[in-house]
Amino acid sequence: MDSQKIKNSQGWRLFSFWVAAIFLVTNTAGAAPSLPTAHLISQENRVPFFEAIQSIPAEMGTVREMDQGKKFLKDPATPFVIHIQDAHANPDAQSQIFEILKFLAQKFPGLAVGVEGAKGTLHPEYLDFFPKFSETGEAVIRDLHEKGELTGAEKFIWEEYKKQSRHPERSEGSPLRIFGVENPELYRDNLKTYRTLLVARSEIETALNPLRDQLATEQSKILNPELRNFLRERDRRKTGKFETSRAVGEPHFLAYLDFIEGLAQKTLAIDLKDPIEQLRFPNLVRVFHLEKAQKEWDGSKAAEEWNQALKLFRAKVQTDSEKALLQKLDFFARKNGLLRESPTPDSHPAMGNRDLYPRELLENFYRLAKNKKIDLARFQQFFTSWRILVFQAEIDSAELFSETESLERALIEKLAQNDSEKKFIRRLENFNLLEKLLFLELTRVDYEKAMARRDKIHAGAGKGLDAFFDQALHFYEDALQRDHALT
């Protein structure tokens, strides 16, 4: 796509929004590259723009990294592009992408959207299956979305199309500009390789089985019982893998965290329930404090105490800022199901998203209670609900997995008693990367590891997997070229 052909519009000097996955797989990771665009945001609007990006609600997604943020604030010639990492065919993830697009479109009318998997102008009117029977058409749209066959970007485009075509009076600002930004040749080649490997999965599985059996036999001879038990429990609880094959059951990650917490305390003298460990494992510590708070929580009692606490405050607030805080508390409670009635836009017209961050809201609330001499000591369930919401908001899933892997490495280092065990663990890791490579399940971090160990992973694969190994590498090489083409 030639970005020079897209003209700037009035008001917020537009920025481009790209929905593009790094790899064509469900699991993706890593920060997105900077993408060039012709759209500039005027100097006076750069700080509020920056703040708006940071205020994206946590339930929609997490801002992983902001490249050149300081330069963007100072230099009017610096463009800004947002990159959403996708999770294909995942309805929940697509709903979050839809909400992010809607959130930003409200902040910045005239949003430009670049979408992967397509080239040139998109046609949301094709989704108007039954123009004369809109309810039937909407039922089809919902069904496609629930099955993961309608992306968040497509749903967003459809909703905007409906607004602009059926209800033009509801459209505000400049019309949306939506483009497919793929390189068709790279996309087709990438898709062809993906389908080839997808069809060959049973053949790949058969070729891997002897390698798995050999590793299982050697593991029982080389590794000490404690290390074997840890690896076995990790496979079962974390990934749901109960056999040597890839047959996967239901993973139980929280059960795995309970297991690893006990082992870390016993083996490494690390107590993940001790607040001091927030310095090293902030997300793991929050998980265990959240688990404790959830066990103590009584929903009915919490709702009763929320009503009582807000009633006390209504009788005490006087200033506009105090009334605004009370309004936020009321909205926050209803939004999180702590009061029976759900919030409506009409009942809280001035409510923003960044004002509802649980810890900040709790601190403001506590200061107000102290100033008004309101005794909240008796409201135990009220504060238990706060603890739950604060911990939930502050747990970063990507960082949680990173901390868990860091703890796993420390445990393996401690449990492995000699060089033979450590070398064998390396072989297991290489085989795991080989499996993920052949089944196209590598994250960006995994891919970097696999490339660093490429020769050893290939050597351990055997000749029977040579062709599949080369095809899988070609798939990821194409994916990277697609990524660069999008930029």
Q: 142 and 47 in one domain?
A: yes
Q: 362 and 266 in one domain?
A: no
pLDDT one digit per residue (tens) for the chain, 487 residues: 333 332 333 222 223 333 332 222 223 333 332 222 333 444 455 556 666 776 776 667 777 776 655 666 666 666 667 778 777 768 888 888 888 888 888 777 766 788 888 888 888 888 999 988 989 999 999 999 888 888 888 898 898 888 877 666 555 555 567 788 888 999 999 999 999 999 999 999 999 999 999 999 999 999 999 999 999 999 999 888 876 666 567 888 999 999 999 999 999 999 999 999 999 999 999 999 999 999 999 989 999 999 998 998 889 888 998 888 888 888 888 888 888 765 544 455 444 445 567 888 888 888 988 888 888 888 999 999 999 999 988 888 889 999 999 999 999 999 999 999 999 999 999 999 999 999 999 988 899 999 999 999 999 888 889 999 999 999 999 999 988 877 6
What pLDDT score does 23 carry? Answer: 28
Containing domain of residue 195, as a range? 191-279+397-486
What is the DSSP code (8-state) at residue 235? I
Q: 214 and 131 in one domain?
A: no
- Nearest alpha-carbon partner for 14 in 181, 176, 161: 176
Last residue of a domain, one of 338, 371, 389: 389
Percent of the chain with pLDDT over 70: 77
Which stretches of 29-179 are DSSP H helices?
Answer: 46-54, 69-74, 91-107, 134-146, 152-166
| Number of structural domains found in the chain | 3
Largest CA distance in the chain: 78
Provide φ and ψ at 443, rounded to 5°: -80, 175
Strand-pair category, 16-19 with 81-84: parallel
Q: 314 and 369 in one domain?
A: yes
Which residue shows structure tokens 């890593």?
Answer: 30
What pLDDT score does 110 carry? Answer: 66
What pLDDT score does 3 carry? Answer: 30
270: CB partners within 8 A, 6+ apart: 264, 277, 280, 281, 407
Which residue shows structure tokens 């496979």?
Answer: 235
What pLDDT score does 280 carry? Answer: 95
Q: 166 and 34 in one domain?
A: yes
Query: How far apart (Å, rounded) are the C-alpha atoms in residues 367 and 365?
Result: 5
Residue 127 in tokens = 């989704």
Q: 306 and 328 in one domain?
A: yes
Q: 158 and 80 in one domain?
A: yes
| Burial class of residue 274 in the structure, from the number of CB atoms within 10 Å of its CB (0-12 exposed, 13-18 middle, 19+ buried) | exposed
Q: Per the domain annotation, does 286 fall within a domain?
A: no
Strand-pair category, 177-181 with 119-121: antiparallel
Q: 480 and 460 in one domain?
A: yes
Q: 177 and 67 in one domain?
A: yes
What pLDDT score does 49 carry? Answer: 65
Q: Per the domain annotation, does 337 fall within a domain?
A: yes
CB of 192 closer than 8 Å to CB of 474: no
CB of 102 closer than 8 Å to CB of 152: no
CA atoms within 13 A on the CB side of 209: 10
What pLDDT score does 94 carry? Answer: 87
Q: 223 and 99 in one domain?
A: no
Provide φ and ψ at 63, rounded to 5°: -80, 110
